[in-house]
Amino acid sequence: MNNAHLHALYTLLSKDLNCQPDDFRRSSDVLTVPAPREGRRLYTPYPPFFQMATLGSNTVISADPQLHPFLKQLLQTAQGHRLFELPALIEIDTALRRFGYRLSPTHFMFLPERDAVPAVSCPVRWFYEQEIHAFYGDKRFPNAICPAFVPERPDRIVVCAYDGETITGMAGCSEDAPHWQQIGIDVLPAYRGKGIGCMLVTLLKNKLLAQGDIPFYGTAAANYASMHTALRAGFQPVWTEITAEPLWIDETQAPK
């Protein structure tokens, strides 16, 4: 693990969860109140109500003060990474629903660990900044790029694999915080299992490292295909995070 990347991660997460970078090195858990700190990642248009993250030892929780009495009681029975186990998550979700929120999916997050060389090779094309806009609205690529341009986390680079003039897969990165580039990947169903996803992720990861940015990668808790892609591309699992979303995130529950 690149120590510079790890220290940069402590700083990034401290902005996300309104704590100190050293709070992720403590033996005890840390509870804070959300605050809009400059440089944090912005994934929703509304302020965070609940977030927590762990690097495998203690856990840092940032939550609305209304949740603090419940969380302080919970921390007496579950600590550290065990807060991400199902019994604790059920309790947290139940408490959140009293305030009109629910837990979002848990995400395993990866940072570069080693150099990797793609095991396969095929023609690719690179697209940058404004060139990416031509792909918005294409439902084949829900993970590689945002559905539309998002100023808070703009898509920066896309690399596509081709079979003739047919795109077989796309890897893209969005700059979720200054110099923090999250990589996403989509491979068309007919071309999966051929190593194309790993090739594209590796190529993009290598380019980002060469230009001085930090590539990172996230997967849902049970998305083993995506995890294997990350590992083969030279990533390593480093932290786990989860947040809350409003119940009215569903159109059927949106406020009138």
What is the per-residue pLDDT across 117-156, written as a single tens digit (0 to 9) for each? 887 889 999 999 999 999 999 999 999 999 999 999 999 9
- Whether 201 shows a pLDDT value over 60: the answer reads yes
> φ, ψ for residue 203 (rounded to 5)?
-60, -45
Question: Residue ranges per domain, the chain?
Answer: 3-110+242-253, 115-233
Q: Per the structure block, which two tokens stand in for 117?
A: 């060389």
Q: Which amino acid is at 227?
A: M
Q: Which amino acid is at 84?
A: F
Q: Which amino acid is at 12?
A: L
Cα separation, 193 vs 189, in Å, equals: 9
Given the structure tokens 């380019």, which residue do they identify? Answer: 207
What is the per-residue pLDDT across 11-52, written as a single tens digit (0 to 9) for each? 999 999 999 999 999 999 999 999 989 999 998 877 799 999
Per-residue pLDDT at 47: 79
Cα separation, 219 vs 108, in Å, equals: 5
Top-level CATH class of 115-233? alpha beta
Asked if residue 15 lies in contact with residue 40, where contact means CB atoms within 8 angstroms, the answer is: yes
